Structure 1
Amino acid sequence: MRAILNYLRASRTSPNLHRRVLYLAVHDITYPRNRRIRSYLSENYGIDSESTELEQHGGYLRRSVRMLIAGLRRSNNIGAVVLAEFNVQYWWIGYIIGRFRRVPVITDRFVGLYETNVEDWQRFSSRSIKARAHGLFDTLAVRFADYVLIDTEVRAMELRSQTSRARVFSLPVGAPDWAVPRPRARSASDPLKILYYGNYIPLHGLSTVMAAAETLARTGKTFALTMVGDGELRGEIESAFRRGTASEHVSFLDPVPEHQLSEIISEHDVVLGIFGDSRKAASVIANKVWQGLACGRTVITRNSHALGEIASLTEGQLVQIEASNSDELASALAMIEPVPDDGEASASHIRLREYVDSRYAMFAAALMQRLEGALDEP
């Protein structure tokens, strides 16, 4: 603590406009969320970023002190400080650095502690002290920010009700540059090729996928389901599949580098989204939904108000079913048409990209207005 105080006394500077932001508590610099935001600001507004990655060793207090020191040392001449996704528990470090440097604090509230650990994974009771602490961290990270970023307008509206101070912007997940429409040659005798990829998390509702596959197998539907990825629940899901009647239709692959997903998606007719019944599942648009649509494939996922943002842009590629309804998923798969027309898929790809860009432009314009306003301060 003495080292922090000495550093503060020695290095405080006047506010200035600098086209550089400090990204705080980054768990993975290649993660699509922060990579997309950083790239957009850099390529369109010349705003570069410096990241402080989250230390993996030691307890919360040790990591916090080290992060605060590292953040202060790297915060000279920044225009804003951004608290990265997944780490809202470090909100107070971003707040201290932001107030010390007199720059806006931006919280990416993309993943909350409570929704992840209590609602999705059910790691502890909603009445426990840990659950209440997680909920408090989520709340404070919003209330002590100047700008809050989230991924859908439905979630943005909820956050706006929690703060009168911060401006909340919806920055869609969107699809990466590699996700483009690619044709698939498909004959009448080919099985329906279905793709799941991800981290086997509760949000994805894989028990629904498994039950739907069993239904398809019993009805004699010709299909091939590919499961790509790894995660805590993979062993359990794989074992259950192998005991069932759908086992001969299912294959499991380990995770692949992100850029290889384009080729894998192009080999399939359908991309599966998410089917969980949690509050979060009802308010998000998953990575795989954006990517599957951008690649020109039919995407089946659970229905939600969030999908209203993009449903009209997809030319029928997006199929929505009730959450956790395996019978409806099986019926939707049984009725799948061939891969959408290339022209329609390309048009959908362009509309989705333009929609994402428009949302990012709204946030960037507000941020630049704030940064340029700093020039007028005495």
Structure 2
Amino acid sequence: MKSHPRVGVLAEGLRAHGHDVAECNAPLGLDTASRVAILAQPWRLPQLGWRLASCWFRLAVGARRGPAPDAIVVGYMGHFDVRLARLLFRRTRIVLDHLIGAGDTARDRNLSGGGLKAKLLTAIDAGALKSADVIVVDTDEHLANLPEQHRSRGVVVPVGAPEDWFAAAPAQEKPGRGEDAPLRVAFFGLYTPLQGAPVIGEALGKLAGAPVEVTMVGHGQELEATREAAEGGCPTTWIEWVDSAELPALVADHDVCLGIFGTGPKALRVVPNKVFQGAAAGCAIVTSDTAPQRRALGDGAVYVPPGDATALADALTRLAEDRAELAAARKRAHDAVLERFGCSAVVEPLVRRLES
């Protein structure tokens, strides 16, 4: 749950609805980027196979120790684990959180290539979907993107924000953050093409002399391109990563949390966890103007066209210069997620499906 907050949101939400949730976890020891790289490099599959076999043994032992479950929820990136769940519990309802498709993610990160590799990734997705009774996705666009034969088993559960992000929101403006203080902006992520981090970097490069300070947290595929684009711009602190327990407080200490700005097909279909989490922590949200994000957040975000660094720089400048608008944007963002995107609220569609 520390690495993947989505799993924690589902667990917290189901518990809030009165369900007894037992966790069975055997860490694979590979982060998301490593898993995607293995899927795109078939010669590394033996490494994955060995780790997977070891984890499956521990999962099988752990799963059999407790009482028989009424339903099993397999967290995202569980393309292989859902097969084990089906083998162990043939008559139990299996829920797969299909937040990330193997083929879709590899294409977004320019790793899939084509031919046999693409067919392998498609087959991995297809087998996982076939093993599940209920398929959880995060947006209507991702539901429509499921193969037609699986769509009727799909249910939309927004990503939402864990409770610790709401708890991190400041009760009032912090001392010393008056009209003359610079606008503090945060971004955190894995620097994938979906996130459009080089667009952020280009925008920062345009903000030389502006009353804006930025904290960029994370590392990944497009980090170097982002840093190069930001050179000569506003003061920026680069942090490789922050422990998940400390991240809510760090983001809450900023005025603005940045969302995503990519232009690829997947970027236009998602509402990223960072916009929910940043809003829960009391930040104003600046993100790309896409249908799913506007539908989810309404007036709770400041929108700019995907891929438009100039528009992003202009939006940050306006917030830096108009503190009344900044305060209003922070309130709109927090209000938008408080009512609809806490753990209990987001899992309601899944609870209805499980209880039907």
Q: 1:92 aligned to 2:83? A: yes
Q: Which residue of structure 1 aligns with residue 73 of structure 2?
A: 82
Whose Rg is larger?
Answer: 1
Shift in Å, 1:69:
4.3
For residue 195 of structure 1, give the secondary structure of its aligned residue in structure 2.
Answer: strand
CA contact (8 A) 2:283 2:334 kept: no
Matched, 1:352 2:325: no
CA shift in 2, pair 1:332/1:105, >3 Å: same
**After superposition, what is the alpha-carbon deviation per residue over 1:11-33, rounded to whole angstroms, capped at 9, x for unaligned?**
xxxxxxxxxxxxxxxxx565211
Cα distance in 2, alignment partners of residues 158 and 360 from structure 1: 21
Alpha carbons 1:317, 1:340 under 8 Å: kept: no
Letter in 2 for 1:347: D
TM-score computed with the length of structure 1 as normaliser: 0.77
In structure 1, the partner of 2:247 is: 261
SS at match of 2:312: helix
Structural mapping, 1:1-378, within 5 Å: 31-56=4-29, 59-76=47-64, 77-99=68-90, 102-118=91-107, 120-125=108-113, 127-159=114-146, 161-163=148-150, 167-180=153-166, 181-182=169-170, 183-185=172-174, 186-217=177-208, 220-235=209-224, 237-238=226-227, 241=230, 244-246=231-233, 249-312=235-298, 316-336=299-319, 337-338=322-323, 339-341=326-328, 347-353=335-341, 357-369=344-356
Aligned to 2:39: none
For the 8 Å contact 2:198–2:222, the answer to whether it is kept is no
Say if 2:186 and 2:258, in contact at 8 Å, map to a contact too: yes
How far apart, in 2, do the equivalents of 1:59 and 1:344 lie?
47
Task: State the one-letter code of the partner of 1:357.
Answer: S
Deviation at 1:234, TM superposition (A): 3.4
Shift of 1:54: 4.3
Determine the C-alpha separation between the residues in 1 that align with 2:147 and 2:344: 22
CA distance in 1, matches of 2:99, 2:331: 33
> What SS does structure 2 have at the residue aligned with 1:51?
coil
Q: How many residues align?
A: 328
Contact 1:143 1:162 in 2 (8 A): no
Whether the 8 Å contact between 2:137 and 2:156 is mirrored in structure 1 is: yes
CA distance in 1, matches of 2:307, 2:26: 37
Change (3 A) 1:358 1:264: closer
Distance 1:56 1:334 in 2: 42
Name the structure 2 match of 1:24: none
**What is the aligned partner in structure 2 of residue 11 from structure 1?**
none
Deviation at residue 85 of structure 1 after TM alignment: 0.8
Residue equivalent to 1:375: none
- Indicate if the aligned counterparts of 2:260 and 2:287 stay in contact, CA closer than 8 A: yes
- Say if 1:33 and 1:173, in contact at 8 Å, map to a contact too: yes
Mapped contact 1:184–1:266 kept (Cα < 8 A): no
**TM-score where L is the length of structure 2:** 0.81
Of structures 1 and 2, the one scoring higher in RCO (CA 8 A, sep 6+) is 2
| CA distance in structure 1 between the partners assigned to 2:173 and 2:243 by the alignment | 21
- The residue matched to 1:280 in structure 2 has which SS? coil
Q: Unaligned regions of 5+ residues in structure 2, if any? A: 31-45
Aligned to 1:7: none
Q: Aligned letter for 1:229? A: G
Measured at CA, do residues 358 and 55 of structure 1 come closer, stay the same or move farther in structure 2, by a change above 3 Å?
closer
Q: Is the 8 A contact 1:297 1:317 kept in 2?
A: no
Relative to structure 1, the CA distance from residue 205 to residue 163 in structure 2 (aligned partners, 3 Å threshold; closer, same or farther) is same
Instruction: Give the superposed CA RMSD.
Output: 2.7
Cα offset, 1:171, TM superposition:
1.5
